[in-house]
Amino acid sequence: MPEYAYVTGGASGLGAATARMLAKKGMKVFIADRDEENGQKIAQEIGGQFGKVDLADWKSQVKAFTQAVSAFGRLDYVYGIGGVGERRWLPKNSTSTTAVEFEMPDLSVLDIDLTGVLYTSSLAIQQARRQDVGQNGFRCKIGVIASVCGFYCCPTLPIYTAAKHGVVGFVRSYGKYLPSEKITLNAVTPNVIRTNISQPAFYDKLEEEGLLTPIEGVVDAFESLLGDNADSGECLEIGPNYAKGQGIVKPKFVDFVDDESKRTFEKLEPRARPLQVPA
């Protein structure tokens, strides 16, 4: 019996590569993307289905996700991969001494890269709670794309970095809660990979200097989480040295500064638990 997967951003780049990997594993894949032309091409190539989606719009996400559930009956894997790069968030005239009005910042990167991931994850969790445990031993396994910008500092990518820190924080926290419901949540956090976010010349330069992260490493990381792998709350780092023996890295996060801080968090967890109980 086949398993079923839902992939946002599946019309190109990492999303398309992940969709192809899943199809080769024998899964039926539903691709959700804003790019209707390429999305349908990839879906046809892998024998899957396609639905158009605007990741920043809740109703649009619900529509595409509902299409997938209606087509397949259940979803064993859900991937929130679609995203965008940094955009100018402050107006160019923000230093003007004569301006009398303030302009609203452009936070669309947050809307897509963070809120969009939360929307997709929310849909996956709600659907998982409605379906039985599948052949892999779980109700649903969720994989999302983050970035090393969720760990490290790049001063000129403030909103993208904020979004990816948000994804990392979401996965590290809620990913440790969900296994009690037979649901897993993990992220793959690559360094720079060749996608349509930047210009080809930029990627070519990085590749010449050995600084480009292979997209195959990211797909391998998602593949490692398939089946009966019970990992949850993990953020798997993939870097330029992936193919040189470094492989998939589970980064070490900062420990509590003292025992009192640790004990405080031990008290916070049960206090907030009622907010997460499904019924």
* d(C-alpha 133, C-alpha 33), whole Å: 27
Percent of the chain with pLDDT over 70: 97
pLDDT per residue over 31-72, tens digit each?
999 999 999 999 999 999 999 999 999 999 999 999 999 999
Q: How confident is residue 94, by pLDDT bands cut at 50, 70 and 90?
A: low
What's the pLDDT at 213?
96
Diameter of the chain measured on Cα atoms: 67
Q: What is the token pair recorded at 144?
A: 């999302």
Q: How confident is residue 89, by pLDDT bands cut at 50, 70 and 90?
A: very high
Which domains does the chain carry? 4-275 (3.40.50.720)
What's the pLDDT at 99?
67
* d(C-alpha 195, C-alpha 76), whole Å: 26
Whether residue 96 is predicted with pLDDT greater than 70 in this model: the reply is no
